[in-house]
């Protein structure tokens, strides 16, 4: 090949980048037929990267048919699948999946395409990748799964799709946070409710010993605190600094949360007393006698009065 021919191919290749970026399908076909090779931009992006990001489905199909490398990575180590995922182009993602692209390539931050669509809340794209069996347990360099990222940004529908796909809500990132820690920190009440319905652990500690209740109490997230308490989160657990959630609420001057935690603690104390009382009461009795006591209205009025007094004074 002469020097002039080489220069011509290089020119065609540069034009192929531009045509792919602009979505000029006919021009892309002509340039490929003229012998254009796959060039890359200064960021290492191929024509497929550019077309995938811009959502030019026809151009993507032409490039795939021409045998364009599906999994070439740019300078940020992102593939065309990553680029489509960043902007939520479901048709592009579907086409790349059908052509057999690698689903779990990680970029320089350790994020897969599933991390990207989960972070942005593109639930339809999340569903496509989960259905294609992308690795839902993959962690990025911060130790976050796709579910962590969906929880952080409050994308409830994406959270549901990931959970149905088998994501583990109790998985921890590099600071020890579960998905419930993350949702509690950012006060995404709807996400907290979804996670609690999966019976995830409410008392897991992170690296500093905080439970989700500690986190929510410190940040004055009253609704989240209430949900965690209703789910059975323990109020007496201490973190690495020896502080309970109540201590955290008081230190951060959150009076309403402090009051809520105090009342809950009082109720728990009363219920412990009731349990001890009933245990001693029932121990020497026969089954018929126990049944007789349990069906008597007076028996149930005693704990009700005690709980009422604990809460309302």
Looking at residue 276, its pLDDT comes to: 56
d(CA 151, CA 217): 18
The structural domains of the chain, with segments of one domain joined by +, span 1-101, 103-168
- Look at 96-105, 206-215, 256-265 and tell me which has the smallest mean pLDDT: 256-265
CA atoms within 13 A on the CB side of 67: 4
d(CA 184, CA 200): 13
Looking at residue 293, its pLDDT comes to: 47
- Provide the token pair at 16: 């192929």
Q: Which residues contact 37 (CB under 8 A, 6 or more apart)?
A: 9, 12, 13
Structure letter (DSSP) for residue 307: H
d(CA 5, CA 29): 19
d(CA 138, CA 57): 28
Domain 1-101 has CATH 2.40.10.10: no
Tell which residue, 119, 153, 112, has the closest CA to residue 136: 112
Domain 103-168 has CATH 1.10.286.10: no
Residue 67 reports pLDDT greater than 50: yes
d(CA 209, CA 211): 7
Residue 227 reports pLDDT greater than 90: yes
C-beta neighbour count of 269 within 10 angstroms = 12
**169 burial class (0-12, 13-18, 19+ CB within 10 angstroms)?**
buried
Looking at residue 310, its pLDDT comes to: 43
Over residues 109-127, mean pLDDT: 98
* Topology alike, domains 1-101 and 103-168: yes
d(CA 214, CA 225): 9
> 12 pLDDT band (50/70/90 cuts)?
confident
The mean pLDDT value of the chain amounts to 88
> 305 pLDDT band (50/70/90 cuts)?
very low
The answer to whether 61 touches 51, Cβ cutoff 8 Å, is: no
The answer to whether 42 touches 16, Cβ cutoff 8 Å, is: no
> 301 pLDDT band (50/70/90 cuts)?
very low
Residue 5 reports pLDDT greater than 60: no
By three-state DSSP, how is residue 154 classified?
coil
Looking at residue 35, its pLDDT comes to: 86
Q: Tally the residues of the chain.
A: 313
C-beta neighbour count of 125 within 10 angstroms = 26
Residue 68 reports pLDDT greater than 80: yes
Question: What radius of gyration, in Å, describes the C-alpha atoms of the chain?
Answer: 29
pTM over 0.75: yes
User: Cα 243 to the chain's mean position, in Å?
Assistant: 28
pLDDT digit string, tens, across residues 152-205 = 999 999 999 999 999 999 999 999 999 999 999 999 999 999 999 999 999 999
The answer to whether 67 touches 75, Cβ cutoff 8 Å, is: no
Place of tokens 């200064």: 42
Looking at residue 264, its pLDDT comes to: 83
Among residues of the chain, what percentage have pLDDT more than 90?
75
Q: Output b/e per residue, 131-153; b: 16+ Cβ within 10 A.
A: ebebebebbbeeebbbbbbbbbb
């Amino acid at each position: 090949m002469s020097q002039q021919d080489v220069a011509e191919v290089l020119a065609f290749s540069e034009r192929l980048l531009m045509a792919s970026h602009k979505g000029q399908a006919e021009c892309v076909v002509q340039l490929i037929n003229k012998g254009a090779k796959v060039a890359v931009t200064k960021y290492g992006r191929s024509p497929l990267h550019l077309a995938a990001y811009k959502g030019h489905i026809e151009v993507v199909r032409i490039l795939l048919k021409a045998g364009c490398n599906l999994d070439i990575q740019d300078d940020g180590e992102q593939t065309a699948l990553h680029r489509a995922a960043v902007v939520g182009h479901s048709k592009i993602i579907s086409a790349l999946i059908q052509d057999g692209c690698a689903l779990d390539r990680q970029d320089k931050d350790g994020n897969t395409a599933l991390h990207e669509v989960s972070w942005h809340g593109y639930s339809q794209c999340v569903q496509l990748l989960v259905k294609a069996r992308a690795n839902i347990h993959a962690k990025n360099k911060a130790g976050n799964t796709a579910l962590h990222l969906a929880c952080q940004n409050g994308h409830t529908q994406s959270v549901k799709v990931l959970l149905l796909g088998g994501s583990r809500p109790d998985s921890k990132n590099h600071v020890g946070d579960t998905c419930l820690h993350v949702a509690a920190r950012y006060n995404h009440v709807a996400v907290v409710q979804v996670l609690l319905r999966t019976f995830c652990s409410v008392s897991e500690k992170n690296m500093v010993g905080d439970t989700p209740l500690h986190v929510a109490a410190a940040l004055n997230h009253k609704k989240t605190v209430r949900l965690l308490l209703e789910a059975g989160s323990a109020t007496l657990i201490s973190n690495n600094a020896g502080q309970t959630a109540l201590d955290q609420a008081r230190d951060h001057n959150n009076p309403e949360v402090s009051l809520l935690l105090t009342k809950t603690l009082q109720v728990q104390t009363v219920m412990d007393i009731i349990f001890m009382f009933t245990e001693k009461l029932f121990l020497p009795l026969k089954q018929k006698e126990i049944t007789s006591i349990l069906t008597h209205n007076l028996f149930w009025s005693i704990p009700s009065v005690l709980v009422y007094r604990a809460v309302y004074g």
